[in-house]
Amino acid sequence: MAVGESWGRYPRVKQSVYSLAWRNEVSLPEDQLLLPYGMGRSYGDSCLNDGERILLTSGLNKFIEFDGETGVVHCEAGVTLEMLLDFGLPRGWFLPVTPGTKYVSVGGAIANDVHGKNHHCAGTFGCHVRSFELLRSNGERLICSPEENTEMFSATIGGMGLTGLILWVELQLKPVEGPMIDLQSIQFGSLDEFFQLSSESDQDFEYTVSWIDCIASGASLGRGIFMRGNHSKVKGPLKQNSLLKRIATVPFDAPGFLLNRHTMGAFNTVYYHKQRQKKVSSTVHYDPFFYPLDAVHHWNRIYGRKGFLQFQCVVPKDSDNEAMKAVFDQVVRSGSASFLAVMKEFGNVASPGMMSFPREGITLCLDFPLQGDETLRLMKRLDDMVFDFDGAMYPAKDATMAPEHFRSYYPQWEEFSQYVDPRFSSSFWRRVMKETD
Amino acid sequence: MKKVVLFGATSAIAHEAARCFARRGAELLLVARNGEKLSVLQKDLETLGAAKVQTHVCDLVDIKDHESLLKTCGELLPEYDAILLAYGTLGDQGESEKDFSVAEQEFRTNFLSAASLVSRVANMFEARGSGQIAVITSVAGDRGRKSNYIYGTAKGALSIFLQGLRNRLSSTGVHVLTIKPGFVDTPMTAHIEKGPLFASAQAVGEGIYRAMERKKDVVYLPWFWRFIMLIIKAIPEPLFKRMSI
Ligand SMILES: Cc1cc2nc3c(=O)[nH]c(=O)nc-3n(C[C@H](O)[C@H](O)[C@H](O)COP(=O)(O)OP(=O)(O)OC[C@H]3O[C@@H](n4cnc5c(N)ncnc54)[C@H](O)[C@@H]3O)c2cc1C
Ligand SMILES: NC(=O)c1ccc[n+]([C@@H]2O[C@H](COP(=O)([O-])OP(=O)(O)OC[C@H]3O[C@@H](n4cnc5c(N)ncnc54)[C@H](OP(=O)(O)O)[C@@H]3O)[C@@H](O)[C@H]2O)c1
């Protein structure tokens, strides 16, 4: 990925970059508005700063200390989750929460207060952050924790990089016996079956997530595979067998015609039927379990130069889950969703983050190849539905939500804006703060 | 366990190579001119698993201090097995053209002082009959180009110096490694727009570690630069002199 793109490669922006390397001598440029940029794994415009400047944090990648007794790791904000895994696993420690890619920086994980397959029991990433240091544009360095500078702590978790630059972090890791996961995959034929499986699994399984086919309609509507797992006691290799691990790279943009209704429909059908039995139990390595997409570098290029939009919402859970059914129905009817949609039930563990996205309910997440205005109109319809259902959209995956919707999804925005650093901003923030009539 | 001295340890590339040694429990001595940066690296390498990390602050360009510097290194990390020499400056080509004293300073940093350190360590290793000398030069030293020939001259001279030294020490058990990176994304190139040919400091640092383990003579990092430079070196001079690359 070129520096200064977001993962969805939409929108395209022009911005200047500034590289950071040493936490002891960070000085912030004074000519433009600033935004930290981690690994650029956000999809829309929340990690972009059109016409202004981004601060590359990848050089802030040093470890500072590790306490092998408590599992607290102290490192700079540009350290990636991949580095933490490589470091922690041989010592018996794992990430407390991980998103679906390990190519994410700790700073980015805090700024979007990311969630993973264990949200129903572990909450968000921010729940495991002990403290961090925040550099403000006036040169102030604030140590923030649940005890110290508490408002700034809470505003920065999920604060989308707007409260200042996180320099280092103290994170609580989680003890595990090894790298393997005991996994059960269960086919389901409808959304109702999904909801059923989800409620009965959340007690006994630390990780739950589903893949849903959003192309099949009629009798197959809402079919998918429910995956649930726990850390295994079975020993296994720290790194996956080198043959399996061999990383493929998509070297250039795929031509647009490669992804269409037929190819994607075929892919989904094959994926669904890959599993012959209704329920399969296996022990798998954590890497393909948590990061199936990481095996192909730059997979975002298969969408071609136009890029793609990601959509992730959460809607409240109700007795018959009408809200999610309606949203899902709209997605299927649009006929333009792609490969895999992911569905998961969020739990009620509260995050310290003021602006965090996850909240109790059902979340749905999928890609739409960008096919001009039609795709944008679809996103608007979905945004309207989420709004009507009292749900919320995820800024880390958004390029289109309406400003007035953002302010209703995140009614704390006014309180939050007091903590925004006057010299920090982003394309996303300017978009959602725009006055509308 | 391996004992390694890194000259110019605050280089991003050297740091990544040092991490490979640290993960395997090596003892490290980090030498560079900025003490605060050295403390940052010391913590990182200790956390990653180095058996022991020491630091020493010193401006490496001062040749007259090299004798005492190496004495200090020997005291801090007795019987070290290997050195990695990584410091360097990219310099301002335009300034060097206008003012030869700027060019001279570049030669001092990138060639003369490096040759001085390497000579002394080589003699010590030769007397002992073992040791490993790894030095970062650059693909820029393979052919002079108008955009950076002052830097290229110094790096090219250093590569030839190492080639001769390797020849001299080939029967002594002392190993000499010439490391020629292509474009690497580090503070040195922070001002340059990154294209697809740029490698990460991590990839290059790991490449250095592997080349040291395998006792290679000359490595291009990443490997494809060997072929790019073969082509660049093959362009006939009458044509090359008119090109802008
Ligand atoms: C394949 C894939 C799967 C994903 N799965 C999930 C998932 O399951 N759950 C989930 O929650 N997200 C998921 N994401 C989204 C991703 O986890 C978030 O967007 C994450 O924040 C990206 O981190 P980053 O380091 O790339 O930061 P960037 O995308 O570069 O930046 C993200 C935000 O962090 C801020 N930031 C970065 N560094 C700092 C710093 N040092 N100080 C202050 N602010 C900073 C930026 O300003 C920006 O607002 C996924 C993304 C991909 C590509
Ligand atoms: N980056 C590339 O594209 C590239 C390509 C080919 C070769 N190289 C070579 O690779 C080596 C490492 O560079 P890098 O890319 O890792 O860049 P870097 O991070 O900027 O490292 C260069 C280091 O040299 C140190 N240094 C310079 N002059 C010094 C002196 N007089 N005394 C002590 N230390 C001194 C600098 O110290 P301070 O931090 O104190 O300034 C800095 O730590 C250099 O030899 C460079 O020429 C780099």
A268 belongs to a structural domain: yes
Element containing residue A149 per DSSP (H, E): none
The pLDDT, as a whole number, for residue A250 is: 61
Q: Which of A207, A223, A239, A214 is nearest to A90 (CA)?
A: A239
Q: Please, how many CA atoms are within 13 Å of residue B31, restricted to the half-sphere of its CB?
A: 23
Evaluate the omega torsion of the peptide bond into residue A29 and state whether it is cis, within 30 degrees of 0.
no
* Cα dihedral A175, A180, A186, A187 in deg (nearest 10): 120
Residue A387 in tokens: 């709004």
Q: What is the DSSP letter of A364?
A: E
Look at residue A114 and give its three-state secondary structure. coil
Is B114 in the A-facing interface, judged by CB distances under 8 Å? Answer: no
Give the residues across from A56 on adjacent strands: A19, A37
C-alpha to C-alpha distance for B175 and B187, rounded to whole angstroms: 29
The pLDDT, as a whole number, for residue A272 is: 74
**Sign, CA torsion B25/B27/B30/B36:** positive
CB-CB contact of A175 with A164 (8 Å): no
A356 belongs to a structural domain: yes
The domain segmentation of chain B, as residue ranges, is 3-240
The answer, yes or no, to whether residue A270 has pLDDT greater than 70, is yes
Residue A4 in tokens: 């200064």
B151 is catalytic: yes
C-alpha to C-alpha distance for A146 and A131, rounded to whole angstroms: 7
Query: What is the β-pairing status of strands A279-285 and A180-188?
Result: antiparallel
Cα of A37 vs centre of ligand 1, distance in Å, is 9
Give the residues across from B180 on adjacent strands: B220
A259 belongs to a structural domain: yes
The answer, yes or no, to whether residue A2 has pLDDT greater than 60, is no
Cα of B111 vs centre of ligand 2, distance in Å, is 13
CATH code for position A373: 3.30.70.2520
CB-CB contact of B80 with B102 (8 Å): no
CB-CB contact of A315 with A323 (8 Å): yes
A36 close to ligand 1 (CB < 6 Angstrom): yes
A367 belongs to a structural domain: yes
The pLDDT, as a whole number, for residue B226 is: 97
B99 close to ligand 2 (CB < 6 Angstrom): no
Full 3-state SS string of chain B = CCEEEEECCCCHHHHHHHHHHHHCCCEEEEEECCHHHHHHHHHHHHHHCCCEEEEEECCCCCHHHHHHHHHHHHHHCCCCCEEEECCCCCCCHHHHHHCHHHHHHHHHHHHHHHHHHHHHHHHHHHHHCCEEEEEECCHHHCCCCCCCHHHHHHHHHHHHHHHHHHHHHCCCCEEEEEEEECCEECHHHCCCCCCCCCEEHHHHHHHHHHHHHCCCCEEEECCCHHHHHHHHHHCCHHHHCCCCC
The pLDDT, as a whole number, for residue A335 is: 84
Q: Which of B41, B47, B187 sits opposite A65 (nearest CB)?
A: B47
* Residue range of the domain that includes A279: 180-401
Average of per-residue pLDDT across A249-257 = 59
Determine the Cα angle at B212 with ends B206 and B213, to 5°: 90
Residue B145 in tokens: 């180009």
A53 phi/psi in degrees, rounded to 5: -130, 145
Nearest CA in chain B to A88: B48
* Model ipTM value: 0.95
Stronger pLDDT, A123 or A260, i.e. the higher one: A123
The pLDDT, as a whole number, for residue A248 is: 59
Q: Which of A123, A102, A121 is nearest to A113 (CA)?
A: A123
C-alpha to C-alpha distance for B175 and B177, rounded to whole angstroms: 7
Q: Which of A123, A14, A106 is nearest to A63 (CA)?
A: A106
The owner of tokens 């020493």 is: B56
- Number of structural domains (chain A) is 1
The answer, yes or no, to whether residue A260 has pLDDT greater than 80, is no
Length of chain B: 245
A139 belongs to a structural domain: no
By CB atoms closer than 10 A (0-12, 13-18, 19+), residue B137 is buried
C-alpha to C-alpha distance for B9 and B26, rounded to whole angstroms: 15
Closest atom of ligand 1 to A36 CA is: 47
Cα of B9 vs centre of ligand 2, distance in Å, is 9
The pLDDT, as a whole number, for residue A437 is: 61
Element containing residue A325 per DSSP (H, E): helix A322-334
CATH superfamily of B3-240: NAD(P)-binding Rossmann-like Domain (3.40.50.720)
A67 belongs to a structural domain: no
Q: Which listed residue (B80, B87, B149, B151) is catalytic?
A: B151
CB-CB contact of B162 with B176 (8 Å): yes
B178 close to ligand 2 (CB < 6 Angstrom): no
- Per-position b or e across A361-391, b if 16+ CB within 10 A of its CB: bbbbbbbbbbbeeebeebbeebbebbbebeb
The pLDDT, as a whole number, for residue A252 is: 62
Stronger pLDDT, A337 or A386, i.e. the higher one: A386
The answer, yes or no, to whether residue A74 has pLDDT greater than 50, is yes
Stronger pLDDT, A405 or A5, i.e. the higher one: A405
Average of per-residue pLDDT across A310-330 = 91
Contact B36 A62 (CB under 8 A): no
The pLDDT, as a whole number, for residue A246 is: 45
Low-confidence stretches of chain B (pLDDT beneath 70): none
The pLDDT, as a whole number, for residue A1 is: 45
> Which chain B residues are closer than 8 Å to A63 by Cβ?
43-44, 47-48
